[in-house]
Structure 1
Amino acid sequence: MNAVPTKVGITDLLKGVATMAPDLPSMARHAPGLIFRSGDKKSTIGQIFAKLATDHPDRPFIRWHGESTSYGECNRQVNRYAAVLAERGVGVGDVVGILSKNNPTDLLVILATLKLGAVAGMLNYNQRGNVIDHSMSLLDAKVLIWDPDCKEAFDSMSASARPEHVFDFPALDETAASKSTTDPAVTATLPASTLAFYIFTSGTTGLPKASVMSHNRWLANYSGIGGLAVRLHPSDTMYVALPLYHNNALSVSLGAVLAGGACIALSEQFSASRFWDEIIENRATAFTYIGELCRYLLAQPPKATDRQHSIRVAIGNGMRPEIWDEFEERFGVGRIVEFYGASELNLAFVNVFGVKRTAGFCPLPFKVVEYNADGTAKRDSRGRLTAVPKGEAGLLISEISDRVPVDGYTDSAETEKKVIRDAFKSGDSYFNSGDLVREIGFSHITFVDRLGDTFRWKGENVATTQVESAVDSADGVSGSVAFGVEVAGCDGKAGMVAVTVDGDKPDPKAFADHLYAELPAYAVPLFVRFVGEIEVTSTFKNRKVELRKEAYSDVGDDEVWVLKGRKDGYVPFYDDYPADVAAPPPRRGRVGGAPVG
């Protein structure tokens, strides 16, 4: 097993600088954009894309199944889509809901929205029913654009949740065919403070929240991660199999592509068995990942294509330290650029200097502080926070200032819940990341764990209150407590729920069907424990901690069910089940898909 670094020294930094030497001129161009961020500056994603299209119209921008479309042609189509949206009243600050799997149209609609100064509301196509209705209510979209491949999600949406103007892709293309290919005049006038995206995150409690991302904050990814860390060249192609509603794709990957004037190759969905074949087909030299994706790839039988590709850099987060070297060596990946961030957080760490098995470096102000069991920052007798010594685990908080603002969520009250005021002195403010990290020197950290009730599974945040709401609405259930549990060999935490019933236990298959109908597949609990009672006193949270520690093995005489998948539903726990969960899917490994079966 590879050890997690406990300290970063000057030697580590010098090694990193040596590898950067060829890219130092381009890095120098991007460094000011990270350090000196101004919301008033006329710099947006649409402006950057339009300039690249003007300067390099014949350079490939999108590659799809090996076929390339140039910056110039993509820009013309973006402008046609923008004309359609503008005719429907979309302007600065309006929202366009986008429900799509990865494909070129998806990306071009996003860019069209941004060129108008509107906000791209990135809907998660795993959502169904009241959950996607809730997301639509947060967006308050003027127009909804949807991919026919997302028909199940679209059909589950209430008619009342849809805006006046709705286009599927064929209708959009037909309407756009005769429109102007000229850049919208408003694009050149937009400041960086303009809102760009609503990205859905489950946050810490309840139904999904829409985190807000301005162009200014996206530009920090563009400069800091793309320009300084990933460092793509115009001849490079970034392969993206993560959904575009995922921040790793929308901000990190697209930012790196535009920072280098490179090409983006889209895959409709992640496939462990076809991953390297698709990279070869699309002539990719870089790809983006989350930790679970890497584990799936390592679990595949070795084959010739493991090293018959041209990948020189991979960018992502969640690469487990114990597989880092094995992954690098087996697949011949030249450089792994791990980073740490969150949709709502106002900073990010990135492995600029190539220090292995770390989440990287951040030049922006942050602290690692003592914390309470509920995920809040711990205050001393004077009401102030205390930083932990370097090398010790603590709660990561980031300073909020005019230079480093917080975009937060669409709901200002939800944003305020994450803000820590008067932390070290009167009048200061910090954003609570909700995560445990260790600072290991020279502004580097290693990730430790997530705090609070939310846990991550299959690359998605799962809110326990959302799971509990779905479980509680099932026939025969009188109460539930949801939490995440560790499964050996898996990234993140698998969903488990402790349940009380009124009489007989529910039918296992019907219970599973109900949860699949109410929740995204990745949020359906893998483990169900039937308990006699659930404490609802002021010590309830402590009991939840105990349930999490007991997990699925230390349950006494309680009956435990496990999820076999949509076809079989729940079955009694069996000893090999955790190993089955840790094994990659037999054919296609979908990020955010069904955990088993």
Structure 2
Amino acid sequence: MKKITEFFRVLKDFATVAPLLASYKPPKDDDTVSMGLLFQTTAEKYADKSALVFEGRELNWGQFNRLVNQFAHLLKKQGVARGDVVAVLLENRIEMLASVLALAKIGATASLVNNSLRGKPLVHCISITDSRKCLVGEELVEAIMEVKEQLPLSDQDYLWVEDTGESTKPEKLFNFSEQVDAMPTTNLAETADIKAGEKALYIFTSGTTGLPKAAVIYHRRFLASAYPYCKAGLRAKQQDRIYMCLPLYHMTGLGPGFGTSLSSGASMFLRRRFSASQFWPEVQQYQTNLFVYVGELCRYLSIHPECPEEKNNPLETMMGNGLRPDVWDQFRSRFKVKRISEIYGSSEGNAAFINFLNKDRTIGTTSASLMLVKYDVDADEMIRDAAGKLIEAEPGEPGLLLSEIDDKYKFDGYQNKEATNSKILTDLKNPGDRWFNTGDLVRQIDVGFALGLPHFQFVDRVGDTFRWRAENVSTNEVGEIINAYDGIEMTNVYGVEVPGAEGKAGMAAITLKEGASLDMDAFSQFVDRELPAHARPVFIRLQQQVETTVTFKLVKGALRKEAYHLDQVKEPLFILKPKSQAYEPLDDASYQQVIAGQSGF
């Protein structure tokens, strides 16, 4: 009986979604469509309907459009023109979205800077995109003031956007908020002329750490992903409301939630940051029936004590990535969520997966041309046959995911051409073919009846990148930054599993120069200053001698297996505990907490 029920459910899902996806034609570069025009069209269609709720403030679509227009007119008055890049450094709030949309309306590019960055990484992000201005929120202005002298912008190029009003604007910065209310609320003529092939955004990949790479997001790319997110994933309608608490400077936060809202007119409930204790009370209070997640948030909710508000909650559909299979089952059974639409992709990648048939524990399917090739994790390399050809993985076997680059599935890459080229493999099946290397292990799985559509499951990051705290961490770049510390000969960075924690924690095996010693207090201050929180190694191992292959590649396999286990590692080990800024020796008591999943990670 269950099989028959599942048969008809899948058939119904397919019949609902397939025609919409089949009939949709992604925009071409020369089409006059854009993020700004989509927003404007939706705002006019649903002018009196709720668009956005944030910290007790609610705007309908008409009010939101008028505010965006005021932002756009003032940006133009300040000299921002079509094709310019403006850095946006604000927390999740109404003004952040207004900034992005205003820049889209005038044909400028919003460079969305991770608002947790400080120091050198912050300078890098603003500089690498040649940002002409920087929209900076009151809540983050201190970070700018610390590095302002290292940036090529003048005082008046920093456009200060008021937040709570609890702090005053630095004296010489331009007071954007003071003048925006006097601006016209009318639509701008140029919005209807922006082409799909123009740059809408720079999204900084978390796959790099100290020096992030700027992924180029064209208007066509944003629109082409927003439609399936809306129609196939969340299946949103105008009367729905989306719970949005992910950082909007990441594509997972901005794309599925914001893109769905612009495509459907669904209202957004926006939060600065996630709170496990407030989640279900707010879901009930604001009747949010759609939710955009990352797996880490779902894990927090699944281990959080029960609360009355989680019972009979209105949440029906959720979309996101990184939901572990064990958490998936807990979440569905405990919170009674009917539809979990896991997705897979990246800001810069050319293929996206979506679980539109609501199958358990899968990233779904894709229409892109793929290869899953066998991968030697310990050697950190693809496996080839005697003739040098890559060997494809069997169904059920993890393989490195490669996605073919063609006219439909373009790889737009990064602002840096060298970084772009490093992700492309050529001549794998046919002369001249090109493939995007995702750097991820994926396997094809059997999900039962699925109308012949192959389904896949994410397995792990490989090699030089791992995922921690819903962020990707580049081992090479963390290592390079730590190597700059005085007295360090070589740093080998890798990810290790921590019981009860999502992803892998960073660990660094450090070899000191002859005669050198490591002052842990000073080293801790260095790490805190030079690396964002998610990239700071959780564990440090002081290694007597660095191990390399015959080609001088750092050996990580044995280090990963030994990890931080006291019974396997005889060299000094240190731990950076949650909410701590200093490394301390890893003793037995701390170790027992870690392996019991009670250390707070």
Q: Do the structures match in fold with TM over 0.5?
A: yes
Equivalent position amino acid for 2:117 in 1? Q
5+ residue gaps, structure 2, are: 163-174, 447-452
Structure 1, unaligned stretches of length 5 or more?
Answer: 1-8, 587-594
What aligned pairs does 1:173-572 form with structure 2 within 5 A after superposition?
173-203=177-207, 207-371=211-375, 373=377, 377-380=382-385, 384-440=389-445, 442-502=453-513, 503=515, 505-535=517-547, 538-541=550-553, 543-553=555-565, 555-565=568-578, 567=580, 569-572=582-585
Asked if structure 2 preserves the Cα contact closer than 8 Å seen for 1:206 and 1:464, the reply is no
Query: Quick one: distance in 2 between partners of 1:331 and 1:566?
Result: 29
**1:69 partner amino acid:** L
> For this pair of structures, how many residues does the alignment match?
576
Aligned to 1:168: 160
CA offset at residue 540 of structure 1? 4.2
Task: Show the counterpart of 2:121.
Answer: 131
1:365 and 1:209 map into 2 onto residues whose CA distance is 26
CA contact (8 A) 1:31 1:224 kept: no
Q: 1:332 to 1:579 in 2, by over 3 A?
A: farther
- Counterparts in 2 of 1:283 and 1:579: CA distance versus 1, 3 Å: farther
**1:53 correspondence with 2:65:** no
Q: Which has the higher contact order (CA 8 A, sep 6+)?
A: 1
Post-superposition Cα deviations, 1:332-391, rounded to whole Å, max 9, x if no partner, equal 222111111111101110110011100111122222223455666555555544432322
> Which stretch of the first structure deviates more once superposed, 573-582 or 465-474?
573-582
Q: Partner of 2:407: helix, strand, or coil?
A: coil
More divergent stretch after superposition (498-507 vs 69-78): 498-507
**8 Å Cα contact 1:85/1:143 also seen in 2:** no
Q: Distance in 2 between matches of 1:397 and 1:207?
A: 25
Letter in 2 for 1:317: N
Q: Secondary structure at the match of 1:431?
A: strand
| Segment of structure 1 superposing worse, 300-309 or 46-55 | 300-309
Which deviates more, 576-585 or 300-309?
Answer: 576-585
Separation (CA, whole Å) in 1 of partners of 2:234 and 2:308: 26
Contact kept? 2:121, 2:210, Cα under 8 Å: no
Matches of 1:116 and 1:495, distance apart in 2: 42
Separation in 1, partners of 2:331, 2:439: 29
Question: CA 1:326/1:179 → structure 2, altered by over 3 Å: closer, same or farther?
Answer: same
* Cα distance in structure 2, aligned partners of 1:52 and 1:452: 43
Contact preservation (8 Å) 2:562, 2:569: no
Cα deviation, 1:155-178, whole Å, max 9, x if unaligned, reads 332423253411110322222221
1:546 is matched by which residue type in structure 2? Answer: A
Letter in 2 for 1:32: S
Counterpart-to-counterpart distance in 1, 2:354 and 2:58: 30
Aligned to 1:104, which of 94, 99, 107?
94
Contact 1:377 1:385 (8 Å CA) reproduced: yes
Alpha-carbon deviations, 1:421-453, whole Å to 9, x = none? 112001211111111111236232111111121
Residue 68 of structure 1 corresponds to which residue in structure 2?
58
CA shift for structure 1 position 109:
0.5
Contact 1:468/1:480, CA 8 A, preserved across alignment: yes
Instruction: Check whether the contact 2:548–2:555 (CA below 8 A) recurs between aligned residues.
Output: no
The DSSP-based 3-state class of the residue aligned with 2:115 is coil
Paired residue type of 2:440: D
Per the alignment, do residues 580 and 473 of structure 1 end up closer, same or farther by CA in structure 2, a change over 3 Å counting? farther
SS in 1 for 2:555: helix
Question: Contact between 1:38 and 1:403, CA under 8 Å: does it hold in 2?
Answer: no
How much does 1:581 deviate?
A: 5.6
Task: Say if 1:335 and 1:105 are closer, same or farther in 2 by CA, change over 3 A.
Answer: same
The amino acid that maps onto 1:98 is V
Q: Quote the offset at 1:28 in angstroms.
A: 4.1
Q: What's the TM-score once normalised by structure 1's chain length?
A: 0.90
Give distance in 1, aligned partners of 2:291 and 2:40.
Answer: 24
Q: Deviations over 1:32-51 (max 9, x none)?
A: 33x54422222211111100
C-alpha distance in 1 between matches for 2:494 and 2:158: 37
TM-superposed CA distance for 1:500, in Å, is 2.3
Paired with 2:6 and 2:553, the residues of 1 have a C-alpha distance of 42
CA distance in 1 between partners of 2:493 and 2:305 (Å): 35
Is the Cα contact below 8 Å between 1:205 and 1:453 reproduced in 2? no
Separation in structure 2 between the aligned mates of residue 582 and residue 68 of structure 1, nearest angstrom? 45
- Asked if 1:17 corresponds to 2:11, the answer is yes
Q: Is the 8 A contact 2:401 2:440 kept in 1?
A: yes
Q: Distance in 2 between matches of 1:273 and 1:509?
A: 34
- Whole-Å separation in 1 of the counterparts to 2:397 and 2:492: 31
SS for the counterpart of 1:360 is: coil
Rounded to whole Å, the distance in 2 between the matches of 1:340 and 1:248 is: 10
Residue 69 of structure 1 and its aligned partner are, at CA, apart by 0.4
The farther-off stretch of 76-85 and 552-561 is 552-561
Change in Cα spacing, 1:315 to 1:463, as seen in structure 2 (3 Å) is same
Q: Counterpart of 2:434 in structure 1: which amino acid?
A: S
**Superposition RMSD on alpha carbons, in Å?**
2.6
Q: Judging changes above 3 Å, is the alpha-carbon distance between structure 1 residues 29 and 387 closer, same or farther for their aligned structure 2 residues?
A: same
- SS, match of residue 553 in structure 2: helix
State the SS of the aligned residue for 1:137.
helix
Aligned-residue offset at 1:89: 2.8
Pairwise CA distance, 1:578: 5.9
Q: In 1, distance between residues paired with 2:383 and 2:367?
A: 25
Which region of structure 1 is more displaced relative to structure 2, 120-129 or 528-537? Answer: 528-537
- Cα deviation, 1:238-267, whole Å, max 9, x if unaligned, reads 111111011111112111222221011111
Can you list the C-alpha shifts for 1:464-507, whole angstroms capped at 9, x where unaligned?
23322332333543332111111122221101111123446433
- Residues 345, 408 of structure 1: 8 Å contact kept: yes
- Kept after mapping to 1: 8 A contact 2:209/2:531: no
Greater displacement, 102-111 / 151-160: 151-160
Percent identity among equivalent residues? 37
Q: Cα 1:152–1:541, aligned 2, differ >3 Å: closer, same or farther? A: farther
1:330 and 1:260 map into 2 onto residues whose CA distance is 29
CA-to-aligned-CA distance 1:195-214 (integer Å, 9 cap, x gap): 11111114468721011111
CA distance in 1, matches of 2:108, 2:360: 39
Q: What letter is aligned with 1:572?
A: P
Q: Given the superposition, is the C-alpha separation of residues 260 and 180 from structure 1 closer, same or farther in structure 2, using an over 3 Å criterion?
A: same
Of residues 217-226 and 411-420 in structure 1, the stretch that sits farther from structure 2 once superposed is 217-226
